[in-house]
Chains A and B, each alone.
Chain A
Amino acid sequence: MILIVILALPLVASILCWTPKPGRRIASRLTLVTNLAILALAVRATLQVIAKGRVIAIPGWLELDALGALILLLVAAVGVTASLYSLGYMKRTTHDLSILHHYYGNFNLFIFSMLAVPVLVGPSVAWLAVELTTLLSVLLVGFESNRDALEAAWKYAMLTLTGAAIALFGFLLLFWAMHVAGGSTYTWSGLEAVAPHMPPAVVKMAYLTILVGFGTKVGLVPLHTWLPDAHSQAPTPVCALLSGIETSAILYVILRLMPIARASLGDAVDRWALVFGLISVGVAAFLLIQVHDTKRLFAYSTVEHMGIILTAAGLGGHAAAYGAMVQIFSHAFTKSFCFFAAGAVLMALGTREIAAVRGLIRSSPAAGAALLTGSLAIAGAPPFAVFLGEFAILKAGIAGGHYVATGLLAIFLAVAFFGILLHVNRMVFGNPPENLPAPPGMPWSCALALLLAAAPVVIFGLYVPDTLHTLLSRAAGLIGG
């Protein structure tokens, strides 16, 4: 029941945003309230999952386990900070305020599609939810309707929908494989039950097409080309959603598939994940060095982090899988915080150009401090949460005897660390340009969103509560660790 309410809330809110009166006027506040309610329900559902192992709304269709709960919780949490941030940010940056209700209507639909991915247990409907995450966010990416935003939206739509069509072929093959093996319920658990009897040739092709197809949407190199465009051109709160949680929500589907494919194909599944993952981390780490745009910097960092998570999943074993879960968790909070900070810089100085920003800590201290904190946190400096995840993964890699992969990963992480801080150091410190007009203050909602988003980044780096540990550990168990 609770799952149905969670899915229904954003849909209702979205419809209300488009009703003439008073829907349009209260659209922004309505979106915030809706997302707060979703977060409260998501926390409740997660606690139920921890207590009972599984929450079932409609058997075989809507169910929630620990792995799903993790994603659901993160979507809801980033949804709250992003809708809070939107309040002040969208008013400041939108030219035509009379079209803002379109933004909020679409925003809620986008949240709906992302909430649907982890609660739908049928692979075919999960595919559909993933396709919807693209379709319902394309217009948000192009919301600013200038040349760059529309170009980014077009590339985003075409590349990720092509990926989705390829993945669809994979999911249909998977259904066939299940049918040949004698299974009849097309759900994740139904697949897992008959996985050892599925014909390997079919599973192999299904797994590879889904890895490539959804890999496009996750931003795995070399299918990542659309990602820095879309993740930099969208309005900042949407960037936070796209980068912070949408990518992980899609990667979640690939992670779900790994134990099923492993039962039929063995270690090859992990090898492919390792290769894809490491290439993504490596290429993104070096591309980070040559960016000129703050938001693109964080977008490439998303490619890097998706690679890290996939690499961790490919290392195998519980410790690495646990590291992957910590990474999904901390990346969602940290990356959304980073984008909020980049948006604060954009609001203060009106530019995303890295070269145009100097001495931020003096000209706009709040934005400067946020950018510095966010960058240190996402680059993996202790004592932030991302550090814990990366450390756990490296440790698991060495313990598992994957010396080459772990060594490469460590090198790439170091390169990315210096890449990010090289840029941010220049932006934050030094002397601000002469005769700079006094930057406008930050809207209160953006400041509050920054604080709220920063809290988990700092807290979970120092202290992991037992409930959270249980959730992450169980989720790790579900991807085969």
Chain B
Amino acid sequence: MNPTSFLPQLNALAGGLFLLCTFGMVATRQVQGCMRFFIWQSIFLASSAFLLGVHPVVWDLLAVAAINLINKPVLIPWLLRKTVPEEVYTRREIDQALNIPISLLIALGLVIAAYVITAPLLRIPAGPSVGVNLPIGLAALLLGAYTLTVRREAVPQLLGLLAMENGAFFTSIAIAPELHLFVELVVAFDVLIAVFVIGVLTRALQEHIGTTNVGSLAALKEESAP
């Protein structure tokens, strides 16, 4: 069987699952559940890079797949556990800003918006995978931003941010496979710094204020001053 016929279909499947995981991040209440969805999202990102790079072989994409597979499902959770106190981890969020059915409806709206926004770009002649990866990547970017806005706990906000970057890279493996591998490596490192810094900040919040419910922090406003 000719791999060029089923690889794009597998890639579309990976894209669908990637998007589904992002929805999971919006919908789940547990911090740990959110983490698990993020890990799976990263694995599907790596799968898509692998599928696009395996035939004909594009070494850069295979390397991107490998980097993502090591960085996100392994190093990031490990680093987070190192920096963030255990109790933050097992937390359940009760007071999300919006309830879950409404959240999912808005998320659906964002996905449709992503398809509408990218429609004019898809008229540009490009490989078959662009039609899958560009709108789905943008959708994940928007959903990540949305997660960041409605979540009140520190760790899910960070995961929303990482989901946004995953979205950008999900697009890039299709539209910019020639991007310098050095850049990919440094970005992977940069994501680790981000996780470390935010982790340290989360710990400081827990130690000095006694909460990581960052949504409740609202002391800094003009009106609050006498």
Task: Using CB atoms, name the residue of chain A closest to B177.
Answer: A179
A5 interface residue per 8 A CB criterion: no
CB-based nearest A residue for B212: A154
Q: Is B17 an interface residue (CB 8 A)?
A: no
The answer to whether A173 has its CB under 8 Å from any CB of chain B is: yes
Contacts of B137 in A (CB 8 A): 169
CA distance A291 to B138 in the complex (A): 38
Contacts of A179 in B (CB 8 A): 175-176, 178
B145 within 8 A of A: yes
Quick check: B222 and A172 within 8 Å, CB to CB?
no
Q: Give chain A residues whose Cβ lies under 8 Å from the Cβ of B154.
A: 154
Please report which residues of chain B, range 170-219, place their CB below 8 angstroms from some CB of chain A when the two chains form the complex: 171-172, 175-176, 178-180, 183, 186-187, 190, 193-194, 197-198, 200-201, 204-205, 208-209, 214, 217-219
Assembled-state Cα–Cα distance A232/B186 (Å): 32
Q: Provide the residues of chain B in CB contact with A165, threshold 8 Å.
A: 141, 144-145, 161, 164-165, 167-168
By a CB distance below 8 angstroms, the chain A residues around B214 are 151, 154, 158
Pairwise interchain contact A158-B179, C-beta atoms closer than 8 A:
no
Interface assignment of A132: CB less than 8 Å from any CB of chain B: yes
Please pick, from A161, A176, A205, A233, the residue contacting B220 in the complex, using a CB distance under 8 A: A233
Q: Do A169 and B138 touch (CB < 8 A)?
A: yes
For the complex formed, measure the closest distance between the CB of B166 and the CB atoms of chain A, giving whole angstroms.
9
Query: Which segment of A86-94, A142-150, A303-311, A402-410 sits at the interface?
Result: A142-150
Which of B187, B190, B201, B218 is the one whose CB lies under 8 Å from A153? B201
Closest beta carbon of chain B to A15's beta carbon, Å: 15
Q: How many residues of B contact A (CB 8 A)?
A: 49
The answer for the CA separation of A122 and B186 in the assembled complex, in Å, is 13
Tell me if B124 and A162 are in contact (CB < 8 A).
Answer: no
Q: Which of A114-136 contact B (CB under 8 A)?
A: 122, 124-125, 128, 131-132, 135-136
Contact yes or no, A166 B186, CB < 8 A: no
The verdict on A290 contacting B175 (CB below 8 Å), with A166-B141, A169-B168, A202-B121 known, is no
Give the distance to chain A from B197, nearest Cβ to Cβ, in Å.
5
Q: Are B205 and A172 in contact (CB under 8 A)?
A: no
The answer to whether A152 has its CB under 8 Å from any CB of chain B is yes
A233 vs B217: C-alpha distance in the bound complex, in angstroms? 14
Question: Which of B117, B187, B217 contacts A154, CB < 8 Å?
Answer: B217
The verdict on A107 contacting chain B, using a C-beta distance below 8 Å, is no
Nearest to B202 among chain A residues (CB) is: A154
Chain B residue at minimal CB-CB distance from A61: B182
Q: Is A353 an interface residue, CB under 8 A from the partner?
A: yes
Interface residues of A in 271-318 (CB under 8 A from B): 287, 290-293, 296
Interface residues in B131-150 by Cβ distance below 8 A to A read 137-138, 141, 144-145, 148
Once the chains bind, are A175 and B141 in contact (CB under 8 Å)? no
User: Are B164 and A166 in touch, CB under 8 angstroms?
Assistant: yes
CA distance A128 to B218 in the complex (A): 30
Q: 0/1 per residue, A162-197, Cβ < 8 Å to B?
A: 100110110011011001100000100000000000
A125, B219: Cβ atoms closer than 8 Å:
no
CB <8 Å contact, B201 and A175: no
Contacts of A4 in B (CB 8 A): none
Q: Which of A214-255 contact B (CB under 8 A)?
A: 228-229, 232-233
Q: Which residues of B contact A287 (CB under 8 A)?
A: 222
Is B120 engaged at the interface, CB distance under 8 Å to the other chain?
yes
| CB–CB A201/B124 < 8 A | yes
Q: Does A398 contact B (CB under 8 A)?
A: no
A199 within 8 A of B: yes
Q: Contact at B176–A175, with CB atoms within 8 Å?
A: yes
Task: Flag if B209 contacts A139 (CB, 8 Å).
Answer: no
B residues in contact with A57, CB < 8 Å: none
Interface size on A, residues (CB 8 A): 52
Q: Is the CB of A161 within 8 A of B161?
A: yes
Which residues does chain A contribute within 8 Å of B165, judged by CB atoms?
Answer: 165, 168
A154 and B172 alpha carbons, distance in the complex (Å): 28
| Bound: A166/B146 CA distance, A | 12
* Contact assessment for B187 and A150 in the assembled complex, using a CB-CB cutoff below 8 Å: no
Q: Is B157 an interface residue (CB 8 A)?
A: yes
Contact A135 B194 (CB under 8 A): yes
Closest beta carbon of chain B to A277's beta carbon, Å? 23
The answer to whether A139 touches B219 (Cβ under 8 A) is no
Contact of A150 with B183 at beta-carbon distance under 8 Å, contacts A132-B190, A166-B141 already known: no
* Contact of A17 with B by CB under 8 A: no
What residues on B are CB-neighbors of A151 within 8 Å? 214, 217-220
19 further A-B contacts with Cβ under 8 Å, apart from A124-B180, A172-B179, A353-B226, are: A128-B183, A132-B190, A138-B201, A139-B197, A139-B201, A147-B208, A148-B219, A151-B220, A162-B164, A173-B175, A175-B175, A186-B179, A199-B124, A201-B120, A201-B123, A205-B121, A233-B220, A290-B222, A353-B225
Query: Contact residues of B with A, CB < 8 Å?
Result: 117, 120-121, 123-124, 126, 137-138, 141, 144-145, 148, 154, 157, 161, 164-165, 167-169, 171-172, 175-176, 178-180, 183, 186-187, 190, 193-194, 197-198, 200-201, 204-205, 208-209, 214, 217-220, 222, 225-226
Q: What 10 A-B pairs come out closest when comparing CB atoms?
A: A292-B225, A165-B164, A176-B175, A151-B217, A172-B172, A175-B176, A229-B220, A169-B168, A168-B168, A201-B120
5 examples of A-B residue contacts, CB within 8 angstroms: A128-B183, A128-B187, A158-B148, A186-B180, A202-B124
